[in-house]
Homo-oligomer: A and B are copies of this chain.
Amino acid sequence: MNADIKNDVLLNDLKLRVHKVQNAMKNLRLDALLVQSNLNNLYFAGRIFAGCTYVPCEGQPLFFVRRGAFPAGDNVFSIYKPEQIPGILHDLGLASPEHLGLESAELSQRNWQRLAALWPDAESLDASGVLASVRSVKTPYEIALMKKTGSRHAAVVARFASVYEQGMTDQQWMIEMVHLMLKAGSLGIFRVAGESMEAFMGTVLAGDNGAAVSPYDFALGGAGIDPSYPVGQSGVRIEPGMTVMADVAANFYGYLTDCTRVYALGGVSARARDAHRLSIDIHETIAQRAIPGTPCSELYNLAVAMAERAGFAECFMGAERKARFVGHGTGLVINEQPVLGARSQEILQAGMCIAVEPKFVIAGVGAVGPEDTYLVTDKGLRSLTPLDREIIELQEI
């Protein structure tokens, strides 16, 4: 792609994002937003920088850059501390905000206090919710990046089985998957919303480790190999009769896609195969039903009903501890809105990107059920990670 064209396309897309946010701000009667997180700065600027983005309810955003490369522009200001921002706005003849939106979910309490003090007379209100809601519906440029990420992601997942070697542990195989993903161009960095969430690229769950409870709010957990990072692979050797669930995310341009495939060494039990088949059926049913206007809770309830009808309710989305969702938005963070859960109030919209992951945990075998990232279109879901969904047989050498 020609760099200048790309830049123009990106610049127009950034304007669209601001426009969407400004529309949402009007309903909340916010005069301005001041964001400082990497996440939302990246959304508004198309790049990470240290500093703040100021979005008035009308007009162009202002970028206050403390550190980092940033193209010059008449709305770009170099600062060394955020306390300079009110004076710069004043010099530009812009009114001080009376109702200021700040990021309650992304800013530490300390930094919230600091930014809220910039205009002592303004009321500081939470803007994290509205930003997450706007981010959940992707712009054309974002959709293009999601499609390209999904396509590159799928191409790497298709090679996971080729780096399995007999006798490997889940951890050893995970390392080779990570190696493939990085060599294919993934940036490695894994962004997740919520200050207690964290992950290193993904998880690989072999056998009964699929049922282990983790402190993190992922669909399935895994015990991990150290109590300082108790999630994912547990160091167990992959044995015949087990399933191995590989859920390694991809991030080539700042946007994350999610894709899980299930592997087995030799045959697995009929019950595990049936549960996996059921997961594929749930995918196909949801993909048809998930048209714009559908409540997200309906998709979760549909999946639960299918699991119940088939006699797999007790092992759907975990064993001892169950995840109460069957999918989630993804984008700049792996856990964007919406949540496909029973208590979700969200309604599907065209342009949302969602990962669907109906997973089952079969005692004595392991986790089954694929995961794909989809784009919500007027005709239902379109997979961005198109790969065969059957259990993949690992080759003994």
Residues of chain A at the chain B interface (Cβ within 8 Å)? 36-38, 42, 46-51, 66-69, 102-113, 126, 128, 172, 175, 178-179, 182-183, 187-189, 191, 195-196, 198-201, 212-217, 223, 225-230, 251-255, 321
Distance in Å: Cβ of A386 to nearest Cβ of chain B: 24
Cross-interface CB contact of A128 among B36, B110, B113, cutoff 8 Å: B110
A-B contact pairs, 8 of them (CB 8 A): A37-B196, A49-B215, A51-B215, A67-B213, A67-B215, A108-B109, A187-B229, A189-B200
CB nearest to A199 among chain B residues: B189
Distance in Å: Cβ of A176 to nearest Cβ of chain B: 8
Most buried by B among A37, A103, A217, A226: A226
Task: Give A68 to B225 CA distance when docked, in angstroms.
Answer: 14
> Which secondary structure dominates where chain A touches chain B?
loop
Cross-interface CB contact of A254 among B105, B110, B229, cutoff 8 Å: B229
Residues of the B chain whose Cβ atoms lie less than 8 Å from the Cβ of A230: 47-49, 68-69
Task: Give A36 to B113 CA distance when docked, in angstroms.
Answer: 19
Task: Give A47 to B216 CA distance when docked, in angstroms.
Answer: 13
Residues of the B chain whose Cβ atoms lie less than 8 Å from the Cβ of A50: 196, 215-217
CB nearest to A38 among chain B residues: B196
Task: Give A215 to B65 CA distance when docked, in angstroms.
Answer: 9
Residues of the B chain whose Cβ atoms lie less than 8 Å from the Cβ of A102: 109
Residues of the B chain whose Cβ atoms lie less than 8 Å from the Cβ of A111: 195
Distance in Å: Cβ of A361 to nearest Cβ of chain B: 16
Flag if B213 contacts A69 (CB, 8 Å): yes
Flag if B321 contacts A108 (CB, 8 Å): no
Residues of the B chain whose Cβ atoms lie less than 8 Å from the Cβ of A212: 69
Flag if B215 contacts A187 (CB, 8 Å): no
Flag if B182 contacts A178 (CB, 8 Å): yes
Q: How many copies does the complex hold?
A: 2
Residues of the B chain whose Cβ atoms lie less than 8 Å from the Cβ of A215: 48-51, 66-68
Flag if B254 contacts A195 (CB, 8 Å): no
Q: A50-B215, A69-B223, A109-B112 are in contact. List 8 more A-B contacts (CB 8 A).
A: A37-B196, A48-B230, A68-B215, A68-B230, A105-B110, A107-B109, A107-B195, A110-B128
CB nearest to A179 among chain B residues: B179
Task: Give A281 to B187 CA distance when docked, in angstroms.
Answer: 36
Task: Give A37 to B194 CA distance when docked, in angstroms.
Answer: 11
CB nearest to A10 among chain B residues: B227
Cross-interface CB contact of A108 among B67, B105, B183, B200, cutoff 8 Å: B105
Most buried by B among A37, A110, A182, A200: A110
Flag if B107 contacts A108 (CB, 8 Å): yes
Q: A37-B196, A50-B196, A110-B105 are in contact. Are A68 and B228 (CB under 8 A)?
A: no
Flag if A229 contacts B189 (CB, 8 Å): yes
Residues of the B chain whose Cβ atoms lie less than 8 Å from the Cβ of A47: 227-228, 230
Residues of the B chain whose Cβ atoms lie less than 8 Å from the Cβ of A105: 108-110
Flag if B48 contacts A228 (CB, 8 Å): yes
Distance in Å: Cβ of A18 to nearest Cβ of chain B: 18
Cross-interface CB contact of A109 among B51, B104, B175, cutoff 8 Å: B104
Residues of the B chain whose Cβ atoms lie less than 8 Å from the Cβ of A321: 67
Residues of the B chain whose Cβ atoms lie less than 8 Å from the Cβ of A187: 200, 225-226, 228-229
Task: Give A216 to B103 CA distance when docked, in angstroms.
Answer: 20
Distance in Å: Cβ of A206 to nearest Cβ of chain B: 17
